[in-house]
Amino acid sequence: MTLNLETIEQWVSPSIRGLASKTAGPPKDNQAIRLDKGELPYPPSPKVVDAITQAATTCNRYPAVLGGVLREKLAVYTGAFPEQLIISNGSDDLIELIIKVFVQPGQQVLLPVPTFFVYWHATQVMGGVPVFVQRTPDFGLDVDALVAKATPDTKVLYIANPNNPTANLVGRDTLIEVLNRVNCVVVVDECYFELCQTTIADLVVTYPNLIVLRSLSKSFGLAGLRIGYAIATPQVVDYLYRAAQLFPVNKVAIAAGIAALEDQAYVQANIQRILAEKPRLQKALVNLGFKVYPSDTNFLFVDTQPLNLQSDVLVKALQNQNIWVADFGSKPGLGDHYFRTAVGTPEENQGLLKGLEVAIAQSSSA
């Protein structure tokens, strides 16, 4: 039987049919200044590269089911027991896995916005319903509003801390208040932990509904390998592993993760480079006339409104110069005048600032 495409489209789950198509994204050429994905601009340490090369020679064998030695190393690094840890294919994978385990089609996921888009994308993929709750004007959490929106059908609440794209932290007391007042799984996403050194991972013992997410993508500079992990109570970890793929983390990534955790001096040196460069970039952006929000991450959240510019126009003018930042104009919870830029190398940041000068001049003469 030959079927036409319309028939096949009708077979696609309605929750998937409504999603946007993926595009290729910015070019990977060497001339591009790539600050749009919040990546570390520095390559992995030579020790990590060696470990990758070594692991490559045994790729005919499957990786360890529960992450093997990487799980033990992460236990030492975090101070958690191995049974409190699950490792996955980037923390994006865990965001989806948590919804798979706890949210049935039609049930709700509570999201203080603006926030990281993967939370609502993963919710929609699983047939769940994202419920947006506006953050406060300075992007803090409105706990009363969150509690008011929670219903018996609310199964998960995602809080990025620090938040992406707004770069700010909310305090431990606020998170404890949330944990005390909501009746669902609370995921606190600490993807930028190494840059801010603020965590509530110790509270997984007190609150069995708390899951803390971490990543080796940012401060460890391993975004391309996809290693994320969660810290939670062992029973929750067990359920997450039941639903996970048998081999969620590949062998090369496991070897690289172990080597990266062992080379803390390299990681710390890169963090110091970013922390030294961040205030310089922040000040230069303010001097250009932008409003820049305080940042507890490796990126800056920038408001273009003081220059009377729409962010999409500005971001397009940068793209024309092969400079890439992320446009946040008109994303849930935001107006049309925000962009996010990673803190790059000093040379990349200089390139961005020059590009912005050109873009501002073009927009004001248009």
Summarize as ranges the residues that interact with ligand PLP (CB under 6 A).
38, 90-92, 116, 160, 164, 189, 191, 215, 217, 223, 228
Q: How far is the CB of 120 from ligand PLP (least distance, A)?
A: 13
Q: How far is the CB of 25 from ligand PLP (least distance, A)?
A: 14
Euclidean distance between CA atoms 36 and 57, whole angstroms: 34
Residues 6+ apart with CB under 8 A from 196: 162, 169, 296, 297
Q: How far is the CB of 129 from ligand PLP (least distance, A)?
A: 21
For residue 289, how many other CB atoms are within 10 A of its CB? Answer: 13
- If the CB atoms of residues 160 and 195 are measured against ligand PLP, the closer one turns out to be 160
- Residue 274 token pair: 């970013």
- If the CB atoms of residues 32 and 196 are measured against ligand PLP, the closer one turns out to be 196
Residues 6+ apart with CB under 8 A from 316: none
- If the CB atoms of residues 114 and 228 are measured against ligand PLP, the closer one turns out to be 228
- Residue 214 token pair: 């971490």
Q: How far is the CB of 223 from ligand PLP (least distance, A)?
A: 5
- If the CB atoms of residues 41 and 309 are measured against ligand PLP, the closer one turns out to be 41
**Which amino acid belongs to residue 4?**
N
Secondary structure of 40-64 as H, E, C letters: CCCCCCHHHHHHHHHHHCCCCCCCC
- If the CB atoms of residues 116 and 290 are measured against ligand PLP, the closer one turns out to be 116
Residue with tokens 């040379």: 347
Q: How far is the CB of 202 from ligand PLP (least distance, A)?
A: 20
Q: Which of 266, 192, 264 is nearest to 42 (CA)?
A: 266
Euclidean distance between CA atoms 218 and 232, whole angstroms: 21
Euclidean distance between CA atoms 94 and 97, whole angstroms: 5
Q: How far is the CB of 28 from ligand PLP (least distance, A)?
A: 17
Q: How far is CA 342 from the centre of its chain?
A: 12
- Residue 62 token pair: 């499957």
Residue with tokens 């963090």: 271
- If the CB atoms of residues 92 and 303 are measured against ligand PLP, the closer one turns out to be 92
- If the CB atoms of residues 64 and 223 are measured against ligand PLP, the closer one turns out to be 223
**Which residues face 210 on adjacent strands?**
186
Q: How far is the CB of 342 from ligand PLP (least distance, A)?
A: 10
- If the CB atoms of residues 96 and 317 are measured against ligand PLP, the closer one turns out to be 96
Q: How far is the CB of 191 from ligand PLP (least distance, A)?
A: 4
Q: What is the side-by-side strand order in the sheet with 291-292?
A: 291-292, 299-303, 338-342, 326-327
Euclidean distance between CA atoms 354 and 312, whole angstroms: 18
Q: How far is the CB of 237 from ligand PLP (least distance, A)?
A: 17
- Residue 300 token pair: 């800056």
Which residue's CB comes closest to ligand PLP? 90
Q: Which of 249, 299, 266, 273 is nearest to 74 (CA)?
A: 249
- If the CB atoms of residues 190 and 317 are measured against ligand PLP, the closer one turns out to be 190
